[in-house]
Amino acid sequence: MKDVWRPAIAQMTGYTPGEQPRPGTPIIKLNTNENPYPPSPLALEVLRSLDSEWLRRYPTPYANDMRQAVSEVLAVPIEWIMVGNGSDDLLNVIIRAGAEPRRPVVYPTPTYVLYPTLAAMQGAEVVEIPYGDDLQLQIAPLVAAQGAVTLIASPNSPTAHVVSLADLRTLAAQVTGVLVIDEAYVDFADETALSLVQEFHHVIVVRTLSKGYSLAGLRLGFAIAHPDLLSGLFKVKDSYNVDAIACLVGAAAMRDQAYKDECIAKIKASRSQLAADLQQLNFKVWDSQTNFLLTQPRDQDAATLYQTLKDRQILVRHFNHSGLADKLRITVGTDAQNQQLIATLTQLRQPDCSRNGSIEGAS
């Protein structure tokens, strides 16, 4: 079939997600930044005791139970909160509301590879402004690009760095259009830009329960912004964009901050250990305020190493993009998973054993 969809759709390539083997597959999955720990036991209890009425009826259109939980935890009024089917849904709604031809989408690179896909769906022009050396945000060119929507992931993927609050404030003060701060990894970071939504009514902060709360399969995220800004997005979203189960389970997870904090503390400790171990193996490792590490194997080809690890049932992420082709993004797993990765990498460095798939005997 040809020429059935808009030319913009025919021309775009579509998003390539990381590999998702079925749960239970014996694989060490360090490729899509999931949290290696289970979700909150309180959230699982809500799931188990769910009354069938919740399934028979339509959910509340605005996911009010979830909004209430976010409101309590972050001390933000309910009217400032919008819930989405993952933060990808919210990013999609924002781009649909804001971007079209001659209303460009602007973002620094490298960053989340979904952004250009969302812009392409709208036929919107994309302006990419590369980060400087040492990953400084290039504020003047970002402003000059005059985006209808400017997107900053902070902490960013795949670089793992945080854009300073000072830089984000400077950008917010100068940028035209809407400024989206994608805080998917904020739970692993030392700072947040949430305060900017009060200072600037054209700023939206987007968060997710996929990473910090171990709920990537549930699909739940939320946006925080001035109610006048959100009102345009409420017109664009699906009428029931968050299912009843996600809303109830997510609210319980959100309220269980103690459990989340415990998991985050473990991941941060594992992150330090993994970074040190990789450095020992001659990897360059960038500072991380996320649950993954951007790494560069100094004495091996990254694409080959990605495949070699995959052959040994360890999945990491390799991006065939400019500036990233010599790097690997590695999600921080449990200590046992990280040690397995390190053992495998250690074994691969010993020429005698490198053709042997087994990791037995690796130290």
Ligand X SMILES: *Cc1c(COP(=O)(O)O)cnc(C)c1O
Of 81-89, 276-284, 329-337, 347-355: span binding ligand X (CB under 6 A): 81-89
x/- site string to ligand X, residues 83 to 102, per CB under 6 A?
A: ---xxx--------------
Q: Report CA torsion sign: 113, 118, 123, 126.
A: negative
Tell whether residue 184 is a contact of ligand X (CB under 6 A).
yes
Tell whether residue 180 is a contact of ligand X (CB under 6 A).
no
- Of 40, 210, 214, 340, which lies in the binding site for ligand X, with binding defined by CB under 6 A? 210
- Of 34, 65, 182, 256, which lies in the binding site for ligand X, with binding defined by CB under 6 A? 182
Q: Which two tokens stand for residue 16?
A: 């390539």
Q: Where are the alpha helices (DSSP H) in 109-162?
A: 114-121, 139-144
Q: Compare residues 155 and 297 and give the one whose CB is closer to ligand X.
A: 155
Tell whether residue 223 is a contact of ligand X (CB under 6 A).
no
x/- site string to ligand X, residues 249 to 288, per CB under 6 A?
A: ----------------------------------------
Min separation Cβ 317 and ligand X, Å = 11
The DSSP letter of residue 317 is B
Q: Which residues contact 88 (CB under 8 A, 6 or more apart)?
A: 114, 221
Min separation Cβ 29 and ligand X, Å = 14
Min separation Cβ 112 and ligand X, Å = 4
Of 55-63, 95-103, 162-170, 203-211: span binding ligand X (CB under 6 A): 203-211
Q: Compare residues 71 and 210 and give the one whose CB is closer to ligand X.
A: 210
Instruction: Using alpha carbons, select from 305, 329, 326, 307 the residue that is nearest to residue 317.
Output: 329
The answer to whether 331 and 33 have CB atoms below 8 angstroms apart is yes
The answer to whether 218 and 194 have CB atoms below 8 angstroms apart is no
Rounded CA separation 354/341 (Å): 14
Instruction: Using alpha carbons, select from 253, 254, 249 the residue that is nearest to residue 50.
Output: 249
- Positions in 109-138 near ligand X (CB under 6 A): 112
x/- site string to ligand X, residues 12 to 51, per CB under 6 A?
A: ---------------------x------------------
Q: Which residues contact 285 (CB under 8 A, 6 or more apart)?
A: 275, 278, 279, 293, 294, 295
Instruction: Using alpha carbons, select from 209, 208, 174, 179 the residue that is nearest to residue 196.
Output: 179
Min separation Cβ 355 and ligand X, Å = 36
Q: Compare residues 43 and 348 and give the one whose CB is closer to ligand X.
A: 43
Rounded CA separation 331/323 (Å): 19
Give the footprint of ligand X on this chain (CB under 6 A): 33, 86-88, 112, 153, 157, 182, 184, 208, 210-211, 216, 221
